[in-house]
A and B are shown apart, each in its own frame.
Chain A
Amino acid sequence: MATKLKPVDAVVVGVGLSGSILAKELAEAGLHVVGLERGRWRDTDPDFAMPHAHDELRYVKRHELMQDLSRETITFRNNTNETALPMRSLGSFRPGEGVGGAAVHWGGLTWRFLPWDFETRSRTLARYGSDHWPAECTSQDWGVTYDELEPHFDRFEYLYGVSGKAGNIKGKIIPGGNPYEGPRAREYPNPALKTAYAGALFKEAAEKLGYKPFPTPSAANSQPYTNEYGATINGCVYCGYCQFFGCEMGAKASPQTAVLPNLMKQSRFELRTRANVVKVNLDSAKKRAVSVTYIDSRGREFEQPADLVLLTSYVFNNVRLMLLSGIGKPYDPAANSGVVGRNYAYQTPSGVTLFFEDKVFNQFMAAGGLGMTIDEFNGDNFDHAWLGFIGGGFFQAATSGSRPIEVRPVPRGTPRWGAEWKHAVAKYFNRSFPITIQGACQSYRTNYLDLDPAYRDAYGLPLLRMTFDRHENEHKMSVWITNKAAEIGKAIGPSKMTVSPRTEKYTIVPYQSTHNTGGAAMGAEPATSAVNKYLQSWDVPNVFVVGASAFPQNGGYNPTGTVGALTFHALQAIKTRYVKRPGPLA
């Protein structure tokens, strides 16, 4: 029997990147806010302290900061003809757990999606016609445009102290930045990170080929920075333990470094850790959320009434809670009806690895998002008319940290073990670097999330089931753009080069990217989206579902910058409109 608690104004489910910002802002605006976090409290000290912070086995292979699958996982199958089986160990993606969520161990690349990304469907049809649209593709416009989101991108970048170089300020192209980006109001808050050797060689070759290379925007702050919340983020020391690690320097922007110092001082905010929300309770008409039910670390069940419910956990739990609670109609791929679970997408990463005989790169001197990028082959920045696919991705000479358990490239054809392997590892560990491609992934009728009929979590509740494979569009795109990256690689002059487009059947085993998207997609039409342009549930308007779960499809970038912008976009609508007059905003 659940203990019923005193009502509050708002409950935030998941205290990560989005949840921490929303909680801080709404508490400051006068609301009583409770943050419910399934994991534990974590902070720079002591959780990311030296020397243990630099332990590759612990963080990369034993997943110290990541989801405990023994309690809850997902099930997976490539298509509906298969039986989904549980993801028993982490592989393809690494969701976080605990205060700060995956934004503790993220790599720090902070992009704005292109204006095209928000209007994928209408712009593709306008430029190429309906014949060009991929079969079964359900990618759509987001219901919000880049221009509407620009102030929110700006706010997030200034909150997180992003280091970069603007390429387009109010329509004026700025040399040294990304000429393809949407117009921005002003320069980045911090100058770009330094340039590693790999980036310098890439820049030179790319410029010779007529491209416009620029430094990758990164939330590893290039210098000490104090944000609007009064939090100071330190300057990066290029230690190279960034992605999959907490930052011992407090130099990588995260909830811990950028938001929590302020949030935890808010008198109207209360954080409850190890509070696992299992259901959002609705009224009898299923039109209003009245409370959430959660279970604490002693197995006690609590009901927390609230006027406003903000689902701000990772993609999977946002969607799962909607399904477990009956918020919105579940998607049915056979009937092509319903919306919750629809438009699940991912990423199509690929790359080129360059090997040299006579150059050392010290790729262990690194930072998350340290790299040199070109954006010529992203979004619709190039003519797709004769290519038979849509989308693209950015190319980056990446110096994000070489640690030898996971990052030890050898040329193709090298055996996986034995003396020959050992020689190749010894030779090339420090004489190679990658050009990585963050390929986009469209949404399709056959890719979706729903509740698994067989497998259960630690509370006996159904696991989320993922049905997913990349389609021909992604494979064609990956081959074409990866070959373009190989042209740059060749111009750099390596002795050997491995070109690895993504064309195989999707597998959940090797790590690819923690960029899962969709399932609670946003849009202008209730028939094809779970939330409106303000990330508000169409069906239960006092529930907002904030995060990459709202992406109707995934762009050719890391998603976090766009998640940050959507968070501030939703916040503005809640603060200026919803709180004054609760009800549907669209």
Chain B
Amino acid sequence: MDEEGSRRRFLKSVGALSAALPAAAAAQHAGHASAKSEKYMFLAPAEVTFLDAAVARLIPADELGPGAKEAGVTYFIDQQLFGGYGVMAKMYRQGPHAEGTPQQGYQSPLTPQEVYRAAIAEINAGCAKQYGKSYDQLAAAQQDEVLRALEEGKFPLEAVPARFFFNMLLENTIEGFFSDPIYGGNRGKIGWKLVGFPGVAAVYTHLVEKHGVPYDALPVSIADILEGKAALDEHGHPKHVLLVRKD
């Protein structure tokens, strides 16, 4: 079977759900859907601006559909930083602190909250020095250049190693793009639609041996179920709605 063809058919069939809209239109659509409801708890406006720009380069909007910015990843990061993750609620924080070896992992005395606050300020200051502009004002290619320099440790930061911040940002961006929309990211299930992941699982007992048959289901989120938008079986599994294939 021509899988690229089937992917196109899939996208066509969910066009009304924005996955197949041109990037700009999709962005507008997603923004319209929920940007207004965002109430930031931790991030300052300049930090929101920075993150909107940075996550849009990490997972860009393109012909496949919206990217991390449109998926609400900045808001996801805000919510995570304000919650237990942001203050290392389940992490060991006692000193003494030492940088250690790469094999020894996270050793910063700073919490993720403090890491974001310090690193974003330093990166904007560095961009101002090098380009005369804050990060969000740079051209896309320059933004990528800055991200690559952080990734390779060539854009020095004082508060934490540049790679450390870059890896945290990339990890949180991927989390925000693919986690359940209940956390504020993956808006419109953009991430799940991109890869064909159905979200909250249905009963697959009768399907697991249907080898090689694409499973084009409308993804179901935890919120869909809590809001009564998905039909459920007796164990609380959603009954997935399969998309009609239009050849």
Give A residues with C-beta under 8 Å from B.
Answer: 49-52, 54-57, 61-63, 68-70, 73, 76-78, 82-83, 85-89, 91, 194-197, 200, 235-241, 248-249, 357-362, 364-366, 370, 399, 402-405, 408, 416-419, 421-423, 425-426, 429-431, 454-456, 505-509
Q: Is B242 an interface residue (CB 8 A)?
A: no
- B65-85, CB under 8 A of A: which get 1 and which 0? 001000000000000000011
Contact B94–A49 (Cβ < 8 Å) = no
Using A195-B209, A197-B211, A422-B60 as known contacts, say yes or no to A50 and B175 having CB atoms under 8 A apart. Answer: no
| In the bound complex, CA of A236 to CA of B208 (Å) | 12
Given known pairs A237-B203, A240-B204, the reply for A70 and B236 (CB within 8 Å) is no
A423 to B64, CA, bound (A): 8
B91 an interface residue at 8 Å Cβ cutoff?
A: yes
Which residues of chain B come closer than 8 Å to A197, judged between CB atoms?
211-212
Cβ contacts A to B, 8 pairs, < 8 Å: A55-B180, A56-B179, A200-B211, A364-B201, A408-B174, A422-B62, A455-B94, A507-B103
Chain B residue contacts of A61, Cβ below 8 A: 175, 179
Taking residues whose C-beta sits less than 8 angstroms from the other chain, chain B's interface range is 35 or more
**Nearest chain B residue, comparing its CB with the CB of A238:** B204
> When chains A and B are docked, how far (Å) is the Cα of A179 from the Cα of B198?
38
Residues of B within 8 A of A430 (CB): 195-196, 214
Q: Return chain A residues, CB-CB under 8 Å to B7.
A: 426
Contact partners of B120 in chain A: CB under 8 A: none
Inter-chain contact B192/A404, CB cutoff 8 Å: yes
Cβ–Cβ < 8 Å partners of B92 in chain A: 69-70, 73, 86-89
Verify A505–B103 contact, CB threshold 8 A: yes
Additional A-B contacts beyond A83-B98, A236-B205 (7; CB < 8 A): A77-B104, A87-B105, A240-B201, A370-B208, A404-B195, A418-B60, A422-B62
* B 47-71 binary contact with A (CB < 8 Å = 1; else 0): 0000000000111101010010000
The reply on B115 being an interface residue by CB < 8 A is no
10 closest Cβ pairs, A-B complex? A50-B236, A429-B195, A239-B201, A57-B179, A197-B211, A365-B204, A507-B103, A238-B204, A51-B225, A404-B178
B119: Cβ under 8 A from any A Cβ: no
Q: Are B100 and A56 in contact (CB under 8 A)?
A: no
B99's nearest neighbour on chain A, judged by CB, is A85
Chain B 93-122 residues near chain A, CB threshold 8 A:
93-94, 96, 98, 100-107
Residues of chain B contacted by A366 (CB below 8 angstroms): 208
- A62–B57 Cα distance when bound, in Å, is 25
Expressed in whole angstroms, the minimum distance between the Cβ of A426 and any Cβ of chain B is: 5
- In the assembled complex, which residues on chain A have CB atoms less than 8 Å from the CB atom of B175? 57, 61, 405
> Which of B90, B104, B205 neighbours the largest number of chain A CB atoms within 10 Å of its CB?
B104
Of B59, B173, B204, which is in contact with the most chain A CB atoms at under 10 Å from its CB? B204
Residue of A nearest to B97 (CB): A85
Q: How far is the CA of A48 from the CA of B102 in the complex (A)?
A: 35
Question: In the bound complex, do residue B212 and residue A50 qualify as a contact, i.e. CB atoms below 8 Å apart?
Answer: no
Contacts of B237 in A (CB 8 A): 50, 237, 239
Report the minimum CB–CB distance from A256 to chain B (whole Å): 16
Q: Which residues of A contact B93 (CB under 8 A)?
A: 70, 88
Chain A hits for B202, CB < 8 A:
239
How far apart are B182's CB and chain A's nearest CB, in angstroms? 8
| B180 CB contacts on chain A under 8 angstroms | 54-57
- B170 an interface residue at 8 Å Cβ cutoff? yes
Q: Are B212 and A359 in contact (CB under 8 A)?
A: yes
What residues of chain B lie closer than 8 Å to A52, measured between beta carbons?
A: 222
Residue of B with least CB distance to A456: B94
Nearest residue, chain B, Cβ from A365: B204
Instruction: Tell me if B200 is interfacial: C-beta within 8 Å of chain A.
Output: yes
Interface residues, chain B, with chain A CB atoms under 8 Å away = 1-3, 7, 57-60, 62, 64, 67, 84-85, 88-94, 96, 98, 100-107, 144, 147, 151, 170, 173-175, 178-180, 182-183, 191-192, 194-205, 207-209, 211-215, 222, 225-226, 232, 235-238
Across chains A and B, the number of contacting residue pairs, with CB separation under 8 Å, is 202
A403 interface neighbour in B88, B196, B197, Cβ under 8 Å: B197
A359: chain B residues within 8 A (beta carbon) = 3, 212
Our pick among B90, B196, B222, B226 for the contact of A54 (Cβ within 8 Å) is B222
B206 to chain A, nearest CB (A): 9
A237's partner among B62, B174, B182, B204 (CB-CB below 8 A) is B204
Q: Tell me, rounded to whole Å, the shortest Cβ–Cβ distance linking B225 to chain A.
A: 4
Min CB distance B76 to A, Å, is: 9
Q: How far is the CA of A434 from the CA of B182 in the complex (A)?
A: 30
Measured between alpha carbons, how far is A194 from B174 in the docked complex, in Å? 32
- Smallest beta-carbon distance B3→chain A, Å: 6
Which of B89, B207, B232, B236 has a CB less than 8 Å from the CB of A362? B207
- Report the minimum CB–CB distance from A157 to chain B (whole Å): 22
Q: Given contacts A70-B92, A360-B212, are A508 and B105 in contact (CB under 8 A)?
A: yes
Could you tell me if B96 and A454 are in contact, using CB atoms closer than 8 angstroms?
yes
Given known contacts A200-B211, A405-B175, A422-B62, A54 and B199 CB-to-CB distance under 8 angstroms: yes
A364 touches B3 (CB 8 A): no
Question: Roughly how many angstroms separate A200 CA and B212 CA in the complex, as a whole number?
Answer: 11
Q: Are A358 and B203 interface neighbours, CB within 8 A?
A: no
B62 lies within 8 A of A419 (CB): yes
**Bound-state Cα–Cα, A454 to B60, Å:** 46
Cα–Cα distance between A76 and B104 once the two chains are bound (Å): 7
Q: Which residues of A contact B215 (CB under 8 A)?
A: 360, 362, 365
Q: Which residues of B contact A237 (CB under 8 A)?
A: 203-205, 235, 237
Task: Given A62-B84, A73-B92, A239-B237, check contact A365 B207 (CB 8 Å).
Answer: yes
A61 to B204, CA, bound (A): 24
Q: How far is the CA of A364 from the CA of B64 in the complex (A)?
A: 22
Candidates B85, B144, B212, B232; contact of A62 at CB < 8 Å? B85
CA distance A62 to B102 in the complex (A): 22
CB distance from A66 to the nearest CB of B (A): 8
State A52–B179 Cα separation when bound (angstroms): 12
Whether A239 lies near B203 (C-beta < 8 A) is yes
- Determine if B195 and A425 form an interchain contact, defined as CB atoms under 8 angstroms apart: yes
B62 touches A364 (CB 8 A): no
Which residues from chain A contact B207 at a C-beta distance below 8 Å?
238, 362, 365
Given contacts A249-B235, A364-B201, contact A70 B211 (CB under 8 A): no
Q: A56-B179, A507-B102 are in contact. Are A63 and B195 (CB under 8 A)?
A: no
User: Cα distance A456–B96 when bound, in Å?
Assistant: 11
A365 touching B208, Cβ below 8 Å: yes
